[in-house]
Structure 1
Amino acid sequence: MSIREPAVAGMFYPAQAEQLQRSIHEMLAEASAGKTESPPPKMIIVPHAGYIYSGPIAASAYQRLKPFADIYQRIILLGPSHRFAFQGLALSASDAFRTPLGVIPIDQKAVELISTCTGVITTDQAHRYEHSLEVQLPFLQLTLNQFTLVPIVVGLASADQVASVINTLWGGAETLFVISSDLSHYHDYMTAKQLDSETTHKILKLDHNLNGEQACGCFPLNGALLCAEQHHLTATSVDLRNSGDTAGSTDAVVGYGAYVLH
């Protein structure tokens, strides 16, 4: 069995399973105060920085999955490429992804189904060091029960290309889409708050014309929002902060938003 091993354990999140579990459970417990009753989300948008920076914001969305832990059986995870430049969407040749909390099997039937979609390639170069997908996995492992994974790193791709892949795997209640994206980067605190508020307004309107200044994961995000529009989903903002609110300086911050779509 070919397994994609963790690349950022010990850097973006704790490498020891017990410490990692404790960290995530604490963030989820803090997020539960804002939890509201709702139907099972079909899609969530979550940030992907180190846990001390964006973990509490991500937890605000993941907390809303816990009541439906038995429903979700297949997770389609899309995030931007930070280290490997390419065009299209990259699948992994691995059979499973590992985190300190265990191994998650890849849904090979789903991978095969989308492998012929326009722009889809298979290359582990895109996955080997990519953190945008990896940091979501421990949250999923501790909020859901058993599930299979379809990990997709998105390079330079059109919203139509991404939406085609999402639509091919749309499925029913058993399928959840997780879109990994931070918001603005390296503005001062007040500028970032204004920019991220404007971007949030666009996300809530399902505007699928975001750029890299607004969201670093704009390519997977635009495709997801186009799909959400096609399927008449409704987006809700559940948290919006930045690194100046969590663990960083206010001089140059990174924005983080969490959203659920039903």
Structure 2
Amino acid sequence: MLTRPPAVAGHFYPHSATALQQQVNHWLDDDNAALTHTAASESTQQGKIKALIVPHAGYMYSGSVAAEAYRALRQQASRIRKVILIGPSHRFAFKGCALPACHYFETPLGKVPIDIQSVEKLREIDDIEVSDKVHAQEHSLEVQLPFLQSCLHDFTLLPLLTSNVSPAVVARAIDPLWQSDDCLLVISSDLSHFHAYSDATRIDHHTCSLIESYQATLTPEQACGATGINTLLLLAKQKGYPLIRNTLINSGDTAIGDKERVVGYVSYIISAPQ
């Protein structure tokens, strides 16, 4: 299979290219968005954006939260030519990480080329396998692509799904690639799942306090993409990269979400000081 077709278009986000682009552009272009944090926006002007943490629920729940981080990329789009995208495998459990064998990931907005050269390098690592099957129906990476396609110009993608693997192993694998000046790391993760609103708020604020103190100890109960976040925290702490929170909400804060069983969403920007 040369191209992985979109698996959740029409479910997690619009199937129509026109409707999808309009929705993403609305969030990215709305400088007066209610959730915008000026401090986070100002921080991106002080250094190169090296990583984002963004949620991966349906756009009606978390799209605006993700956009708060992605919006800043447009100012640095000419620099970013490679994206490492890490998310959790929701459908398959396995040892290690999984890269795709295909050459492109496709969304209604077009095809994104896979960084085949990096895939060939990483597949030699014992904890990394190559499997189109693991990637075929996974939403955690796919939902990030329309934002990347809307914010960046020409870029290649290294999509990595994690399962039973140590964050230290993932950090060692991607660090040589991430050190490149033209490389962005995107961590796809929601926060706590299916607690009552007040409990989720308490849990998610504690999780954010751990993230902001660079404690790479998150569990899947705190964040479904805990491995990816912990990986980033290990690398960011080592390099002294500041981390700024953009937005923290849960599905109960949206117009269509109830407050009995909510899911938490957060976005962060990590930059290299100038």
Q: 1:101: how far off? A: 0.3
Deviation at 1:118, TM superposition (A): 3.6
1:47 partner amino acid: P
Please state whether the residue corresponding to 2:49 is helix, strand or coil: coil
Q: Give 3-state SS (helix, strand or coil) of 1:153's partner.
A: strand
Cα deviation code 1:174-207 (max 9, x no counterpart): 1000000000001111111111111111111111
Q: For residues 75-224 of structure 1, what are the structure 2 equivalents within 5 Å?
A: 75-224=83-232
**Could you report, residue by residue, the CA deviation over 1:203-250 in whole angstroms, capped at 9, with x for unpaired residues?**
111111100111001112211211111221111100000101123101
Moved more, 183-192 or 221-230: 221-230
Cα distance per residue 1:19-50 (max 9 Å; x no partner): 00001111113366535232221010000000
Structure-1-length-normalised TM-score: 0.97
Q: Which residue identity is paired with 1:215?
A: A
Structure 1 position 65 matched with structure 2 position 79: no
Name the structure 2 match of 1:255.
Answer: 264
2:268 aligned counterpart, secondary structure: strand
Counterpart residue identity of residue 268, structure 2: Y
Deviation at 1:72, TM superposition (A): 0.4
Deviations 1:93-145 (A, max 9, x none): 00010000000001111111222224011111210000000000000000111
- Which residue is equivalent to 2:20? 20
- 167-176 or 144-153, which deviates more: 167-176
Of 34-43 and 156-165, the range deviating more from structure 2:
34-43
**2:6 match:** 6
Find the aligned partners of 2:31 and 2:54 in 1 and give their Cα distance. Answer: 14
| Mapped contact 1:204–1:234 kept (Cα < 8 A) | no
* Closer/same/farther in 2, CA of residues 32 and 63 from structure 1, 3 Å limit: farther
Q: What CA distance in whole angstroms lies between the structure 2 residues aligned with 1:32 and 1:232?
A: 31
Structure 2: which amino acid aligns with 1:7? A
Q: Which amino acid aligns with 2:11?
A: M
Structure 1 unpaired stretches of 5+? none
Q: Equivalent residue for 1:238?
A: 246
Identity of aligned residues (%): 46
How far apart are residue 161 of structure 1 and its match? Answer: 1.0
- Deviation string, structure 1 residues 144-166 (Cα, Å, up to 9, x no partner): 11100001111111011111122
| Maintained 8 Å contact 1:240/1:256 | yes
Alpha-carbon distance in 1 for matches of 2:222, 2:119: 30
Inter-CA distance 235–32: structure 2 relative to 1 (3 Å threshold): farther
SS of residue matched to 1:248: coil
What CA distance in whole angstroms lies between the structure 2 residues aligned with 1:256 and 1:12? 15
What SS does the aligned partner of 2:19 have?
helix
Deviations 1:48-101 (A, max 9, x none): 000000101000100111101111000000000000111101010000100000
Give the counterpart letter for 1:89 in structure 2.
C
Unaligned runs of 5+ in 2: none
Please state whether the residue corresponding to 2:68 is helix, strand or coil: helix
Q: Against the structure 1 CA distance between its residues 85 and 53, is the aligned structure 2 distance closer, same or farther, given a 3 Å change threshold?
A: same
TM-score normalized by the length of structure 2: 0.93
Task: Give the secondary structure class of the aligned counterpart of 1:42.
Answer: strand
Greater displacement, 250-259 / 118-127: 118-127
Letter in 1 for 2:18: E
CA distance in 2 between partners of 1:59 and 1:74 (Å): 19
